[in-house]
Amino acid sequence: MPKILSIETSTTVCSVAITTDGNTLASQKLFLEKSHSTLLTVVIEQIMKQVGIEMAELDAIAVSKGPGSYTGLRIGVSTAKGLCYALDKPLIAVNTLHAMANEVNLHNHSQALLCPMIDARRMEVYTALYDGELNELKKTSAKILEENSFDETLSLKQVLFFGNGAEKFITLKKDVPNAVFIDRITPSAWSVGHLAHQAFLKSDFEDVAYFEPYYLKDFVATKPKKIL
C-alpha cells in the first residue's frame, strides 16, 4: 500500500494531497495568489499531521511537472526534490494536463474527449487532448486560440474544455453544440496522486538530481508596474 505525498503548484492554486493505493486520504487546496513559496511547506506539515503519517513512512513524493507557471513549477519541484533527498524517497512526475483530464474523466459518462487548458497569457494556452481512456490524442503544446481551433475535432465528437485557459475560448465556441465548457476545474494534487500510484507500480521514477519542470516555454520576465 504505497503512501504518496503529492504536490501541485503549476498555477496560482497550491494543492497538496496524501494518497495510498490510489485512494485519497487527505487533500488541501489554497486559492491564494503567490502562496506557494510561503505556505507550501506549512500545508505539507498540516496534512501529514491530519493523516497521522510520519514523513519517513512515505513511499514516494509526486509532483505536477507542468506545463504551467514558471515560478509555481519551480517552487513545487524544488520542494519535492528536497524532500526526496532528505527522506531518500523516489520522485514521480505527472503531467499537469493529464492530471486535470483524469479528474474530469471521473465524471465523463458520455466518453467525450477531454481538453484541459492552462492560461498562458493573451489568447495562448497550454493544452492537450485525451480520449475517455486518457489516451493522449494530441500532445501537450502551447496553442494560440483562434476561431477555427479544434473545428475538425468538434465536427466529429463532443469535447469537454476546462481549466483557467478554457475561459477565453468560450467566446469563440459558445454556439458550437459539441463544445462543452466546465468551470471551476483547477489542478488538484489528489489527481496527481492517483496517476502517481500507477507510475509507482511501474517503478516509473525520475532522476532526482537532473529532473527539471516541464516549462514548455522559456521564462519571460515582466517589468514591475510603476507606482504613481
DSSP notation for 156-184 = TS-EEEESTTGGGTHHHHTT-TTEEEE-S
Pick 97-182's CATH classification: 3.40.1190.20, 3.40.50.150, 3.30.420.40, 3.40.50.720.
Answer: 3.30.420.40
| Alpha-carbon separation of residue 167 from 1, 64, 171, 217 (angstroms) | 39, 22, 8, 21
Burial of 77 (0-12, 13-18, 19+ CB in 10 A): buried
pTM assigned to the model: 0.93
Note the pLDDT tens digit of each residue in 161-201. 999 999 999 999 989 999 999 999 999 999 999 999 999 99
Domain boundaries for CATH 3.30.420.40 within the chain: 3-96+187-201, 97-182
Chain segment 27-62, per-residue pLDDT in tens: 999 998 777 888 999 999 999 999 999 999 999 999
Per residue in 106-144, pLDDT (tens digit) is: 999 999 999 999 999 899 999 999 999 999 999 999 999
CATH code assigned to 3-96+187-201:
3.30.420.40
